Amino acid sequence: DVKVTQSSRYLVKRTGEKVFLECVQDMDHENMFWYRQDPGLGLRLIYFSYDVKMKEKGDIPEGYSVSREKKERFSLILESASTNQTSMYLCASRDAYSNQPQHFGDGTRLSIL
């Protein structure tokens, strides 16, 4: 069974802090994704990575950056956290060469005060 693990379930940070959200998958998947999920808006893609050291902007990349130094780990970075980044953040991974679905972690609920 695929396991996508997000380092924190709940996180509280202050405005202006640099915030790191970590995601690890155990299935050697090439593709990894970061989404945020807000009530009434659904899931929105922030960034994704085709493979190690590769990244591509999603629909809402402003205020975020990512890092993929190892295949199993994909980090989301909030350079200077703001209150409008309070949200649920979901990481997903996918085998690039099959028709298998994206597998999601259980999310990190981030609050910026």
> What Å distances lie between residue 97 and 58, 66, 94, CA to CA?
21, 23, 9
| Residue with smaller CB distance to other proteins, 17 or 38 | 38
Q: How far apart are CA 17 and CA 112, in angstroms?
A: 9
Q: Which of 12, 79, 106, 113 binds other proteins (CB under 8 A)?
A: 106
Name the minimum Å distance from CB 68 to other proteins.
15
Which of 7, 22, 58, 86 is close enough to bind other proteins by CB under 8 A? 58
For residue 73, list its beta bridge partners.
Answer: 24, 70
Helix, strand or coil, per DSSP, at residue 84: helix
Does residue number 99 form part of the binding site for other proteins (CB under 8 A)? yes
- The closest alpha carbon to 105, from 1, 4, 2, belongs to 4
> How is residue 85 annotated by DSSP?
G
Nearer Cβ to other proteins (14/110): 110
Residues that bind other proteins (CB under 8 A): 4, 31, 40-45, 48, 50, 58-59, 90, 92, 99, 101-102, 104-107
